[in-house]
Amino acid sequence: MCLKAVCVFLGFFVSVHSVASAQAEPAVGSIVVRAKNVRGSQRAKIPLSRKRFYLFAGGLADNKDLVDSIRAAEITSRDCFYNSLKASPCFISWLNEGNCESPFCRAIKREDIKGVKEFESAYAKGLVAYRNKPDLALSWMINNLPPDLTSGYYRQQRSFVEKITASRKPLQTILSTAAGAEATFAGVPVTGKSTKYLVSNILPVEIDKKAYTWACEIDVQAAKPSNLILALPLDPKRKNCVLVEKELKTCSVEACNKQ
Protein backbone atom coordinates (compact mmCIF):
# COMPACT_ATOMS: atom_id res chain seq x y z
CA MET A 1 0.00 0.00 0.00
CA CYS A 2 2.77 2.36 1.06
CA LEU A 3 4.87 1.42 -1.98
CA LYS A 4 1.91 2.06 -4.25
CA ALA A 5 1.42 5.53 -2.77
CA VAL A 6 5.10 6.36 -3.28
CA CYS A 7 4.88 5.21 -6.93
CA VAL A 8 1.78 7.32 -7.54
CA PHE A 9 3.48 10.34 -5.97
CA LEU A 10 6.64 9.81 -8.04
CA GLY A 11 4.59 9.41 -11.22
CA PHE A 12 2.71 12.62 -10.44
CA PHE A 13 5.96 14.45 -9.66
CA VAL A 14 7.60 13.33 -12.92
CA SER A 15 4.59 14.34 -15.03
CA VAL A 16 4.34 17.76 -13.34
CA HIS A 17 8.07 18.27 -13.79
CA SER A 18 7.94 17.35 -17.47
CA VAL A 19 5.03 19.74 -18.06
CA ALA A 20 6.93 22.47 -16.22
CA SER A 21 10.08 21.92 -18.25
CA ALA A 22 8.08 21.87 -21.48
CA GLN A 23 6.64 25.23 -20.47
CA ALA A 24 10.06 26.57 -19.58
CA GLU A 25 10.92 27.04 -23.25
CA PRO A 26 8.46 29.64 -24.54
CA ALA A 27 7.33 29.62 -28.16
CA VAL A 28 9.34 31.97 -30.33
CA GLY A 29 9.25 33.13 -33.91
CA SER A 30 11.37 35.39 -36.07
CA ILE A 31 10.86 38.44 -38.28
CA VAL A 32 12.82 38.99 -41.47
CA VAL A 33 12.72 42.62 -42.61
CA ARG A 34 13.34 43.13 -46.33
CA ALA A 35 13.20 46.14 -48.63
CA LYS A 36 11.29 46.34 -51.91
CA ASN A 37 12.10 49.09 -54.42
CA VAL A 38 13.71 51.21 -51.72
CA ARG A 39 16.07 52.93 -54.11
CA GLY A 40 16.96 56.48 -54.95
CA SER A 41 18.19 58.00 -58.18
CA GLN A 42 21.59 56.37 -57.65
CA ARG A 43 20.74 52.79 -58.52
CA ALA A 44 23.89 51.35 -57.01
CA LYS A 45 23.09 52.77 -53.59
CA ILE A 46 21.25 50.59 -51.06
CA PRO A 47 19.54 53.07 -48.74
CA LEU A 48 18.40 50.48 -46.20
CA SER A 49 21.78 48.82 -45.87
CA ARG A 50 23.31 49.02 -42.37
CA LYS A 51 20.26 50.68 -40.88
CA ARG A 52 19.04 49.96 -37.39
CA PHE A 53 15.52 48.62 -36.94
CA TYR A 54 13.58 48.57 -33.68
CA LEU A 55 11.03 46.03 -32.51
CA PHE A 56 8.13 47.09 -30.28
CA ALA A 57 5.45 45.03 -28.57
CA GLY A 58 1.94 45.48 -29.97
CA GLY A 59 0.56 46.59 -33.30
CA LEU A 60 0.00 50.01 -34.85
CA ALA A 61 -2.96 50.81 -32.61
CA ASP A 62 -0.95 49.97 -29.47
CA ASN A 63 1.90 52.19 -30.62
CA LYS A 64 -0.12 55.18 -31.77
CA ASP A 65 1.93 57.55 -29.58
CA LEU A 66 5.15 56.28 -31.07
CA VAL A 67 3.91 56.76 -34.63
CA ASP A 68 2.65 60.25 -33.74
CA SER A 69 6.10 61.12 -32.33
CA ILE A 70 7.74 59.89 -35.54
CA ARG A 71 5.36 62.05 -37.58
CA ALA A 72 5.99 65.13 -35.44
CA ALA A 73 9.76 64.81 -35.15
CA GLU A 74 12.03 67.46 -36.65
CA ILE A 75 14.75 66.08 -38.87
CA THR A 76 18.17 67.53 -39.57
CA SER A 77 19.76 66.18 -42.70
CA ARG A 78 23.36 65.09 -42.73
CA ASP A 79 24.40 68.00 -44.97
CA CYS A 80 22.62 70.52 -42.76
CA PHE A 81 24.22 69.09 -39.64
CA TYR A 82 27.76 69.42 -41.00
CA ASN A 83 26.93 72.83 -42.47
CA SER A 84 25.84 74.00 -39.05
CA LEU A 85 29.23 72.97 -37.70
CA LYS A 86 30.88 75.01 -40.44
CA ALA A 87 32.67 71.99 -41.82
CA SER A 88 34.66 72.74 -44.96
CA PRO A 89 33.03 71.98 -48.33
CA CYS A 90 35.79 69.45 -49.05
CA PHE A 91 35.14 67.60 -45.78
CA ILE A 92 31.42 67.38 -46.59
CA SER A 93 32.28 66.29 -50.11
CA TRP A 94 34.56 63.53 -48.73
CA LEU A 95 31.68 62.28 -46.56
CA ASN A 96 29.30 62.37 -49.51
CA GLU A 97 31.69 60.46 -51.76
CA GLY A 98 31.34 57.39 -49.56
CA ASN A 99 27.80 58.27 -48.47
CA CYS A 100 29.27 58.47 -44.98
CA GLU A 101 27.52 59.82 -41.94
CA SER A 102 30.79 60.38 -40.10
CA PRO A 103 34.53 60.00 -40.69
CA PHE A 104 34.39 56.64 -38.86
CA CYS A 105 32.68 55.24 -41.94
CA ARG A 106 35.74 54.66 -44.11
CA ALA A 107 39.51 54.84 -43.92
CA ILE A 108 41.06 58.21 -44.60
CA LYS A 109 43.72 57.70 -47.26
CA ARG A 110 46.89 59.73 -47.65
CA GLU A 111 45.64 61.29 -50.89
CA ASP A 112 42.45 62.44 -49.12
CA ILE A 113 44.35 64.78 -46.78
CA LYS A 114 45.43 67.52 -49.16
CA GLY A 115 42.75 70.13 -49.65
CA VAL A 116 40.59 69.04 -46.72
CA LYS A 117 41.54 71.52 -44.01
CA GLU A 118 40.18 69.35 -41.16
CA PHE A 119 42.34 66.42 -42.29
CA GLU A 120 45.39 68.61 -42.84
CA SER A 121 45.22 70.03 -39.36
CA ALA A 122 44.52 66.63 -37.71
CA TYR A 123 47.41 65.05 -39.61
CA ALA A 124 49.79 67.83 -38.56
CA LYS A 125 48.67 67.42 -34.95
CA GLY A 126 49.27 63.67 -35.17
CA LEU A 127 52.79 64.11 -36.52
CA VAL A 128 53.68 66.15 -33.45
CA ALA A 129 51.91 63.84 -30.99
CA TYR A 130 53.28 60.57 -32.38
CA ARG A 131 56.92 61.56 -32.77
CA ASN A 132 56.80 62.26 -36.47
CA LYS A 133 55.42 58.89 -37.51
CA PRO A 134 53.41 59.54 -40.71
CA ASP A 135 51.66 56.14 -40.71
CA LEU A 136 50.41 56.65 -37.17
CA ALA A 137 49.37 60.23 -37.87
CA LEU A 138 47.29 58.92 -40.78
CA SER A 139 45.75 55.83 -39.24
CA TRP A 140 45.02 57.53 -35.92
CA MET A 141 43.71 60.71 -37.52
CA ILE A 142 40.23 60.30 -36.03
CA ASN A 143 41.77 61.00 -32.61
CA ASN A 144 42.84 64.45 -33.74
CA LEU A 145 39.72 65.59 -35.55
CA PRO A 146 37.30 67.86 -33.65
CA PRO A 147 34.88 65.55 -31.73
CA ASP A 148 31.81 67.33 -33.09
CA LEU A 149 32.83 66.45 -36.62
CA THR A 150 33.48 62.82 -35.80
CA SER A 151 30.80 61.74 -33.37
CA GLY A 152 28.49 64.76 -33.31
CA TYR A 153 26.08 63.45 -35.96
CA TYR A 154 25.91 60.06 -34.25
CA ARG A 155 25.18 61.70 -30.89
CA GLN A 156 22.48 63.80 -32.48
CA GLN A 157 20.87 60.70 -34.04
CA ARG A 158 21.08 58.82 -30.79
CA SER A 159 19.35 61.57 -28.87
CA PHE A 160 16.70 61.64 -31.62
CA VAL A 161 16.01 57.92 -31.08
CA GLU A 162 16.02 58.31 -27.29
CA LYS A 163 13.48 61.12 -27.55
CA ILE A 164 11.14 59.15 -29.82
CA THR A 165 11.39 55.99 -27.73
CA ALA A 166 11.30 57.71 -24.35
CA SER A 167 7.82 56.44 -23.51
CA ARG A 168 8.04 53.12 -25.33
CA LYS A 169 11.21 51.07 -25.12
CA PRO A 170 12.07 48.71 -27.97
CA LEU A 171 12.25 45.00 -27.20
CA GLN A 172 15.06 44.42 -29.65
CA THR A 173 17.12 46.38 -32.13
CA ILE A 174 18.96 44.98 -35.11
CA LEU A 175 21.21 46.27 -37.84
CA SER A 176 20.42 45.35 -41.43
CA THR A 177 23.06 43.66 -43.55
CA ALA A 178 25.19 45.74 -45.87
CA ALA A 179 24.75 43.71 -49.01
CA GLY A 180 21.16 42.51 -48.78
CA ALA A 181 19.75 45.26 -46.54
CA GLU A 182 17.99 42.55 -44.59
CA ALA A 183 17.42 42.39 -40.84
CA THR A 184 16.36 39.38 -38.77
CA PHE A 185 14.78 39.60 -35.35
CA ALA A 186 15.25 36.16 -33.77
CA GLY A 187 13.71 34.70 -30.63
CA VAL A 188 10.58 36.85 -30.75
CA PRO A 189 8.17 35.55 -28.06
CA VAL A 190 4.82 34.29 -29.32
CA THR A 191 1.81 33.70 -27.12
CA GLY A 192 -1.14 31.80 -28.51
CA LYS A 193 -1.51 31.44 -32.25
CA SER A 194 0.26 34.67 -33.14
CA THR A 195 1.47 37.90 -31.54
CA LYS A 196 1.48 41.43 -32.96
CA TYR A 197 4.66 43.47 -33.15
CA LEU A 198 5.69 46.77 -34.65
CA VAL A 199 8.93 47.29 -36.56
CA SER A 200 10.30 50.75 -37.33
CA ASN A 201 13.57 52.31 -38.41
CA ILE A 202 12.81 55.38 -36.17
CA LEU A 203 15.74 57.28 -37.70
CA PRO A 204 14.59 58.55 -41.08
CA VAL A 205 16.45 57.16 -44.08
CA GLU A 206 17.62 59.85 -46.49
CA ILE A 207 16.83 59.03 -50.11
CA ASP A 208 17.52 61.81 -52.56
CA LYS A 209 15.90 64.89 -51.00
CA LYS A 210 13.42 63.09 -48.79
CA ALA A 211 13.47 61.27 -45.46
CA TYR A 212 11.49 58.06 -44.92
CA THR A 213 10.44 56.28 -41.75
CA TRP A 214 8.48 53.05 -41.78
CA ALA A 215 6.37 51.74 -38.90
CA CYS A 216 4.85 48.41 -39.81
CA GLU A 217 2.85 45.90 -37.87
CA ILE A 218 3.39 42.18 -38.22
CA ASP A 219 1.78 39.04 -36.84
CA VAL A 220 4.46 36.64 -35.65
CA GLN A 221 3.74 32.94 -35.47
CA ALA A 222 5.78 30.44 -33.53
CA ALA A 223 8.41 28.41 -35.37
CA LYS A 224 7.92 30.30 -38.58
CA PRO A 225 9.86 33.25 -40.01
CA SER A 226 7.50 36.15 -40.72
CA ASN A 227 8.49 38.34 -43.66
CA LEU A 228 8.05 42.08 -43.37
CA ILE A 229 8.44 43.99 -46.62
CA LEU A 230 9.25 47.69 -46.48
CA ALA A 231 8.19 49.11 -49.82
CA LEU A 232 8.62 52.41 -51.57
CA PRO A 233 6.08 53.69 -52.39
CA LEU A 234 3.82 52.03 -49.90
CA ASP A 235 0.78 50.28 -51.31
CA PRO A 236 -2.14 52.50 -50.20
CA LYS A 237 -4.22 49.38 -49.64
CA ARG A 238 -1.78 48.15 -47.04
CA LYS A 239 -3.40 48.89 -43.71
CA ASN A 240 -0.79 47.54 -41.35
CA CYS A 241 2.04 49.84 -42.36
CA VAL A 242 2.73 53.55 -42.09
CA LEU A 243 5.32 55.39 -44.15
CA VAL A 244 6.23 58.85 -42.89
CA GLU A 245 7.70 60.85 -45.75
CA LYS A 246 9.27 64.26 -45.19
CA GLU A 247 10.94 66.77 -47.43
CA LEU A 248 14.48 67.43 -46.30
CA LYS A 249 15.53 70.99 -45.77
CA THR A 250 18.27 71.75 -48.26
CA CYS A 251 21.43 73.32 -46.99
CA SER A 252 23.61 74.66 -49.75
CA VAL A 253 27.01 73.05 -49.74
CA GLU A 254 29.74 74.92 -51.57
CA ALA A 255 31.68 72.97 -54.16
CA CYS A 256 35.00 71.58 -53.04
CA ASN A 257 37.81 73.17 -54.98
CA LYS A 258 40.47 70.61 -54.26
CA GLN A 259 43.69 71.12 -56.17
User: Which candidate, 80, 81, 52, places its Cα nearest to that of 148?
Assistant: 81
Q: In the set 57, 60, 136, 234, which binds another protein (CB under 8 A)?
A: 136
Member of 7, 10, 128, 175 binding another protein (CB under 8 A): 175
Can you give the three-state secondary structure of 8-27, one letter per residue?
Answer: HHHHHHHHHHHHHHHHHCCC
Site residues (CB under 8 A) for another protein, limited to 7-46: 25, 27-28, 30, 42, 44-46
The DSSP code sequence of 30-62 is EEEEEEES---SSTT--TTTT-EEEEEES-TTT
Q: Which is nearer to another protein, 76 or 143 (CB)?
A: 143
Q: Mark the segment that binds another protein (CB under 8 A) among 78-86, 167-175, 226-234, 239-247.
A: 167-175
Q: Which lies closer to another protein via its Cβ, residue 3 or residue 22?
A: 22
Q: Is 121 an interacting residue with respect to another protein (CB under 8 A)? A: no
Q: Does 130 bind another protein (CB under 8 A)?
A: yes
Q: Are 149 and 85 in contact (CB under 8 A)?
A: yes
The closest of 226, 234, 211, 188 to 51, measured between CA atoms, is: 211
Nearer to another protein, 106 or 168 (CB): 106
For another protein, the closer of residues 187 and 236 by Cβ is: 187
Residue in 63, 176, 213, 226 binding another protein, rule: CB under 8 A: 176
With CA atoms as reference, report the closest residue to 84 among 217, 251, 236, 230. 251
Cis peptide preceding 189, ω within 30 of 0: no
Total residues in contact with another protein, by rule CB under 8 A: 54
Nearer to another protein, 69 or 173 (CB): 173
Report yes or no: 241 and 217 within 8 Å, Cβ to Cβ: yes
Site string for another protein, 100-119 (x = CB under 8 A): xxx-xxxx------------
Q: DSSP characters for 158-207?
A: HHHHHHHTSSS--SEEEEPPTTT--EEEEEEE--SSEEEEEEE--SPEEE
CB of 149 to another protein, least distance (A): 12
Within 13 A of 139's CA, how many CA atoms are on the CB side? 4
Cα–Cα distance, 11 to 102 (Å, whole number): 64
Does the footprint of another protein cover residue 154 (CB under 8 A)?
Answer: yes
Q: Does 83 help bind another protein (rule: CB under 8 A)?
A: no
Interface with another protein (CB under 8 A), residue from 58, 182, 246, 251 = 182
CA distance 78 to 100: 9
Is residue 210 within the footprint of another protein (CB under 8 A)?
no
Binding site for another protein (CB under 8 A): 25, 27-28, 30, 42, 44-47, 49-50, 52, 98-102, 104-107, 129-131, 133, 135-136, 139-140, 142-143, 147, 150-151, 154, 172-187, 222-223, 225
